[in-house]
A = this chain, B = another copy of it.
Amino acid sequence: MTKPLEFWFEFASTYSYPAAMQVEAACAARGVPLVWKPFLLGPVFGAQGMTDSPFNLYPVKGAYMWRDMERICAAAALPLHKPSTFPRGSMLAARICAAHADADWIGDFVRAVYSANFAEDLDIGAADVIGPVLQALGQEAATIIDSAGTPEAKQALRALTDDAIARGIFGAPSFTVGTELFWGHDRMDMALTEAAGGD
């Protein structure tokens, strides 16, 4: 029996980039419903006692990650420009997703924000970057950016991040199918197989 795939992503997270670019098409190809689950890694890392990205805390691992990202993006024909700031502020874009989770432009918005961060090296934390992204999707940028500052939007993202921690999520991207958790872009196929009912 097919189950929904919940895709947990953080706009600052490197390996979330190829996953975010591929997940909607991959779900469609397998007939799996997709649920977008934006969250913030900061509180998740904080719950593990970390004060920064593990890729910054462990520079040897960070150096490897960037080389691995080059190979993965090349294999997926995705452009990659190492962001001049890492990690980038992801609060604004994540609150927009949390507040508009069911909007029909969410998938396009997610992909455009990841492209801005990892292909165009733009500061996705800034309203003057996110505004044009929304406009290009035909949306009312100012209204949507304002909505991200409401108590409801803040609470929606906080609830998602709390839920991530409660489910044992410790990094991004992650995938959940029922109570099964899969961590990493390289587990996307395994998660899809689980969601598709083991086929």
Contact = CB atoms under 8 A, between A and B. Distances in A.
Interface of A: 47-48, 58, 60-61, 63-64, 67-68, 71, 168, 170-171, 180-184, 186-187, 190
A170 B48 contact: no
A48 B68 contact: no
23 contacts: A47-B60, A48-B58, A48-B60, A48-B61, A58-B170, A60-B168, A60-B170, A61-B170, A61-B171, A63-B168, A64-B168, A64-B170, A64-B181, A64-B183, A67-B180, A67-B181, A68-B182, A68-B183, A68-B187, A71-B190, A184-B186, A186-B186, A186-B187
Contacts of A47: 60
A176 B54 CA distance: 23
